[in-house]
Amino acid sequence: MKGVLRINPKKYMEAFVPSPDGSADIFLDGIAARNRALNGDVVVVKVLPPEQWKVLYQNVLKFGQLSNWELIRSFLAVGGDLNERTLASQMVPKAPDVIVEAHYNEDDEVIGKMKNVVFIFEQKHSRAASGFLKFLPNKNFAMFSPVDHRIPRVNLPLADCPADFVSRPGDYENTLFICRITHWPADNNFAEGRLAKTLGQAGEIEPETEGIMTEYDVDFSEFSEEVLNCLPQDLPWSIPAHELSRRRDLRKECVFTIDPATARDLDDALSCKQLSDGNFEVGVHIADVSYFVEDGSVLDQIAGKRATSVYLVQKVIPMLPRLLCEELCSLNPLTDRLTFSVIWKLSPEGKILSEWFGRTVICSCIKMSYDHAQSMIEAPDKHFSAEELPPCSPNHRIHEIQEAILDLHNIAKQLRAQRFEGGALQLNQVRQTRLQSGHLLYHQRVLVEEFMLLANMAAAHQIYRTYPELAILRRHPPPQSKMVDDLQEFCDQMGLDIDFNSSGGLHRSLNENLGNDVYAAARREVLTHTCSRAMQMASYFCTGALKDENSFHHYALNVPLYTHFTSPIRRYVDVIVHRLLAASLSDQHCEHKEVHKLASHCNDRKTASKRVQESSSELFFAVFVKECGPLDSEAMVVGVLDQSFDVLVLRYGVQKRIYCNSLEGLKAVHFRKVGKRPEMTLVWEQGDPSKESTQQEISIFTLLDVQLKADGAPMKYSAVLKRPSAYV
């Protein structure tokens, strides 16, 4: 069977491949079991016969009683991957790779436990890493030690090192380098590689950021002249008359954008007007990127390779040149712009009465921020002055814009309610989006989001109806069934009434059954975190590659067909969808251009972009802790292991692991499991030796006081449990 390898970043000896039926994960124990595959690689694995498995059970299990897949599932941890649990407390293989070994060629035999157990079907990992050099006396090579412990240490030629490295190795102890693996012998724990670049001092933002981007193979180079020459050279650019004549002219309509105040790439706009029959004409207008990005051009090739813009804390690595993102395609106010629109006739309740797709031209009358729109929603009777808002077109009164926003808000509420009543699920985990004066800022874009979802669903139906073998859609499989069963049992034992039977039931119970006190949101976040670990990733796919329409379903949205249409400035899939839509409207024949391979590539780049964004946020928060810490906060326990526990730090929205062996004054740790519920007792020494030790109970949802403080290593910080004052 084939699958994507996931290596536990906290326990790099453990790795997983999803089972073909999506019910659970297959566990690979030890580096040898991976046969030099790296995180993200597509690998082929084969399950050993049950009689070759060596398992430590608290209760005796006879291998003959269960099928292979039941046995595999029995290895899987409650509520998530085995990587978040203590192997000793569950079922543990006695030796590496006794659970899974694999080969690829049909003529090969399943051989030794330490050899040839995984065939690398496709290398997805970049084979690049940031890390540090270590001098090895009496050797003609140096050792490279990656920051990411999932990547092996690498031997590289001394000739690649700085000229004075041999004589002054201490000068480079804190210098970050980039190394690329060139070869990894099958009989060696160390890979071979070449030093690619000196990044700079560890702990500094830019070298660390470049290291992250290089590891995830993000192309952050400047666009070449050849690429830029694909765009109009005569600026300022105006829409050619012949192009205007081919489009529906909406420039006199009240169209506006709603985005974060600092946004520069405005790729979606909205319009709404009430009709004489009491219904509404609602439009979603998306920047027509495909007009400028000609299929097969050099610009198209580089956009396809990048596949997505990458959003770092301090900057954006754009998929397309800034001239296109921020000028030619950005729906800037008071400027004629080319768009691809979907326009509906909607009832006040949000029922679609009619639908129209087509290429259009608009002139946005105002650039609204989320705050501006929210102010209008919160004060519907207020008359806003021109001074309170951004520059507005003289052709549209402020009151007209406010009415449109209020109508859109009311329809959006109806659409949202219908979505969740119909069974949609939203697992929004807390995340820091921006640091400012020590506070984390969050944005809601509910109003805009509802109409973007509606447009994406409409586009999906249109392209699939026309091109059933070539449409590129987005699917979201249901959660792994074994994990859901274990989660249900865990919640039952915790006294939580959580419905896992459907996405809608899960959404309702997460939002209704966790109380309404000051810590309800924290409990919801903890449970959301737990539930998210059972969820599978959403992914793009070509409809011709999957024959069963039931597998097209999007679990979280609970809709049969979904795609991405609304962000072509930053997502290449949306550009492809625009081209398919344009072809469908003119009954053009669409050629097969390896859509399945393209979908797979976009999945890879989207995942990499997400990891880079998370790493960037973690990097900046580590700097924040170093500059402003130590930071005190309440925290809620998310998970309990045998010698550590994970907490959600409530004030800052970060999750950290607290290791018991790092707690001063801790005398003993007692871990136990009550059914599926892990619990821990901490035994604290008393300040007064004459008094007995005091105990502190730790379990899911326990509230604790913690402190975040910088570690000795660059860009690292840890969470420490503050010893309860009563025990000091």
- CATH architecture designation of domain 137-202: Beta Barrel (2.40)
**Helix or strand or coil: residue 496?**
coil
The radius of gyration of the chain's CA atoms, rounded to the nearest angstrom, is 28
d(CA 36, CA 183): 10
d(CA 232, CA 212): 34
d(CA 105, CA 103): 6
Please state the pTM of the whole predicted model. Answer: 0.83
Phi-psi region of 121 (alpha: psi -120 to 50; beta: other; left: phi over 0): alpha
Which residue blocks in 345-445 are alpha helix, DSSP H?
Answer: 370-378, 398-421
d(CA 649, CA 654): 5
d(CA 520, CA 719): 23
CB contact at 8 A, 476 and 554 = yes
Tokens matching residue 487: 């989660």
Pseudo-torsion of CA 33, 34, 36, 37, nearest 10°?
A: 170
DSSP letter (8 states) at residue 153: P
Backbone angles phi, psi at 144, to 5 degrees: -105, 125
Residues annotated in a binding site for Mg(2+): 259, 268
Beta pairing, strands 352-363 & 191-201: unpaired
d(CA 308, CA 292): 17
Beta pairing, strands 46-47 & 100-101: antiparallel
CA angle 472, 475, 477 (to 5 degrees): 155
Tokens matching residue 408: 């859109």
Nearest Cα neighbor of 40 from 3, 2, 4 is 4
CB contact at 8 A, 144 and 153 = yes
d(CA 223, CA 303): 10
CATH topology of domain 2-78+99-122: OB fold (Dihydrolipoamide Acetyltransferase, E2P) (2.40.50)
Q: What pLDDT score does 443 carry?
A: 36
Beta pairing, strands 191-201 & 154-157: parallel
- The total of other beta-carbon atoms located within 10 Å of residue 581's CB is 23
- Please report, for the chain, the start and end positions of each structural domain, with discontinuous segments joined by +: 2-78+99-122, 137-202, 226-477+536-617, 629-721
Beta pairing, strands 280-287 & 439-440: unpaired
SS3 labels along 267-285: CEEEEEEECCCCCEEEEEE
Q: What pLDDT score does 238 carry?
A: 93
DSSP code string of 451-486: HHHHHHHHHHHHHHHH-TTT-EEEEBPPPPHHHHHH
Identity of residue 484: V
Q: What pLDDT score does 15 carry?
A: 87
Which residue blocks in 116-161 are alpha helix, DSSP H?
Answer: none
**Helix or strand or coil: residue 44?**
strand
Q: What pLDDT score does 470 carry?
A: 93
d(CA 66, CA 64): 6
d(CA 562, CA 472): 9
Residues annotated in a binding site: 259, 268
d(CA 349, CA 335): 33
Say if residue 329 is exposed, middle or buried (CB neighbours under 10 Å; 0-12, 13-18, 19+).
Answer: buried
Span 456-465, pLDDT tens digits: 999 999 999 9
Contacts for 71 with CB less than 8 Å, ≥ 6 apart: 50, 53, 63
CB contact at 8 A, 500 and 506 = yes
pLDDT along the chain (728 residues), means of 10: 87 84 76 89 80 42 29 30 28 27 27 47 93 92 94 95 93 94 92 95 93 95 96 90 95 95 91 96 97 96 97 94 94 96 96 96 95 91 89 93 95 88 65 38 65 96 95 91 80 80 78 76 81 85 91 91 97 96 82 82 95 93 91 92 92 91 90 88 81 85 93 86 70
d(CA 494, CA 498): 10
Beta bridge partners of residue 281, listed in sequence order: 273, 345
Q: What pLDDT score does 429 carry?
A: 55
Half-sphere exposure of 57 (CA within 13 A, CB side): 11
CB contact at 8 A, 519 and 703 = yes
d(CA 570, CA 547): 30
Q: What pLDDT score does 145 carry?
A: 95
**First and final C-alpha spacing in the chain:** 55
Query: 629-721: which CATH number, 2.60.120.260, 3.40.605.10, 2.40.50.140, 3.90.1640.10?
Result: 2.40.50.140
d(CA 131, CA 128): 10
**Helix or strand or coil: residue 28?**
strand
Half-sphere exposure of 464 (CA within 13 A, CB side): 23
Nearest Cα neighbor of 219 from 323, 128, 327 is 128
**Helix or strand or coil: residue 6?**
strand
Say if residue 218 is exposed, middle or buried (CB neighbours under 10 Å; 0-12, 13-18, 19+).
Answer: buried
Tokens matching residue 139: 């050797």
d(CA 26, CA 31): 15
Half-sphere exposure of 515 (CA within 13 A, CB side): 13
Nearest Cα neighbor of 185 from 15, 36, 43 is 36
